[in-house]
Amino acid sequence: MYTLSSPTVLATDAAAHTAAVPVLRALSAAFRVSQDGAYALAQAWHDRDETATDVGWTLVALLDMNSPVFSETLRSTGSALQAGTPADADALATGRFGTSSQVAALVASEASVWPDAAIAPIPGAGKVPASAAVVAASVAAHWASPGLLPDQVAAMRAPFEQAEASADLYEHGKFPYGPRTAEVLGLIELIKAGQVDAAKLSEVTWPAGVWSRAMHEAAWACLREGRLRAQMRAVIDVTLEFSLAHPELRPFQVRSCMPALHAMTVQRLVGDAMDEKSLGELALAEFSL
């Protein structure tokens, strides 16, 4: 299950996806849609190929029914190990905590304050604003691949791409990540410059429970400061840049890097509003630099 307050779960699953870069790009776009962009997306929903979109959502729902979530993957791996069968690290690493429909539901409910009426049904979320349905479909299509074939992905994404080609869909403010945008952008520049080493990230570890407790405190700080959506944007965008910089990594290697990478991200985003203990715990990730 995915929530706005736990972006690292979503971003880690996305980064370990076989289509990591398209998935992360779609998520990044979803959380940057402006109010004007939402109106253009709503019009695109009305202009969509209704049959193709409905077929796409039906296939997504069917794939979800047959796709094990991470808890089931862990159970099956444990059973295999007990039977003496070696575990496949990449198969385990590509397991996910949620389904395509659950990703779509998160996008539809949290990616923006949608200005139009809830008239469009999508699996797992009931009726949502038409603009939200278009964005949710654009993300779910990539998330459901490769089970969803390329032409089916294209059909589900067509309304979004048509709107994107004809209108400016995105926000263009100076502070996409809130008041500490400069700090987050600084981390992105370090990644682009090759100064964030994957091997060193994977070596950073915390005592049991410390990382999750500190990240939980960071989420509360984001809630208090009104930065939850900024946190999602930052974590997604940093993860995207890391994926672009390290296409050579296998899924299990990607997962091993994410705790430190996301600790560095969140520390920069909301460090000014966290207690010193939790901030210090997240700062352990800086040893990777």
pLDDT in tens, 258-275: 999 999 999 999 999 999
Query: Nearest-CA neighbor of 258 among 5, 20, 1?
Result: 20
- Quick check: 75 pLDDT over 80? no
Kindly state whether residue 254 falls inside one of the protein's structural domains: yes
Do 153 and 65 share a structural domain? yes
Q: Which domain holds residue 244?
A: 178-288
pLDDT at 234: 99
* Residue 115 binned pLDDT confidence (cut-offs 50, 70, 90): very high
pLDDT at 88: 72
Do 44 and 162 share a structural domain? yes
- Quick check: 79 pLDDT over 80? no
92 contacts 124 by C-beta, under 8 angstroms = no
3-state SS class at 74: helix
Do 187 and 281 share a structural domain? yes
Kindly state whether residue 12 falls inside one of the protein's structural domains: no
pLDDT at 83: 72
Kindly state whether residue 204 falls inside one of the protein's structural domains: yes
Kindly state whether residue 279 falls inside one of the protein's structural domains: yes
**If you average pLDDT over residues 135-147, what whole number do you get?**
97
What is the C-alpha to C-alpha distance for residues 67 and 61, in angstroms, rounded to an integer?
10
Last residue of a domain, one of 137, 166, 195: 166
Strand partners, 222: none
Do 192 and 146 share a structural domain? no
Residue-averaged pLDDT of the chain: 94
Do 265 and 200 share a structural domain? yes
Kindly state whether residue 24 falls inside one of the protein's structural domains: no
Do 182 and 114 share a structural domain? no
Do 183 and 160 share a structural domain? no
Last residue of a domain, one of 140, 166, 192: 166
**If you average pLDDT over residues 103-114, what whole number do you get?**
97
For residue 209, count CB atoms less than 10 angstroms from its CB and return exposed for 0-12, middle for 13-18, buried for 19 or more: exposed
For the ranges 23-27, 64-68, 240-244, which has the lowest average pLDDT?
A: 64-68
User: Which residues does 283 contact at the CB level (< 8 Å), separation at least 6?
Assistant: 263, 267
* Residue 6 binned pLDDT confidence (cut-offs 50, 70, 90): very high
pLDDT at 164: 98
Kindly state whether residue 10 falls inside one of the protein's structural domains: no
Kindly state whether residue 223 falls inside one of the protein's structural domains: yes
* Residue 122 binned pLDDT confidence (cut-offs 50, 70, 90): very high
Do 250 and 161 share a structural domain? no
**If you average pLDDT over residues 227-246, what whole number do you get?**
98
pLDDT at 80: 64
**pLDDT tens track for 175-194:** 999 999 999 999 999 999 99
Do 282 and 204 share a structural domain? yes
**If you average pLDDT over residues 269-284, what whole number do you get?**
96
Instruction: Specify the higher pLDDT residue, 202 or 95.
Output: 202
Residue 85 per-residue DSSP state: P
**pLDDT tens track for 192-212:** 999 999 999 999 999 999 999
- Quick check: 69 pLDDT over 90? no
pLDDT at 87: 66
Do 115 and 194 share a structural domain? no
Kindly state whether residue 102 falls inside one of the protein's structural domains: yes
Do 198 and 136 share a structural domain? no
Last residue of a domain, one of 115, 133, 166: 166
For the chain, first and last CA: distance in Å?
32
pLDDT at 130: 98
Do 99 and 50 share a structural domain? yes
Query: Nearest-CA neighbor of 64 among 15, 98, 95?
Result: 98
Please tell me the total count of domains within the chain: 2
**If you average pLDDT over residues 125-141, what whole number do you get?**
97
- Quick check: 77 pLDDT over 70? no
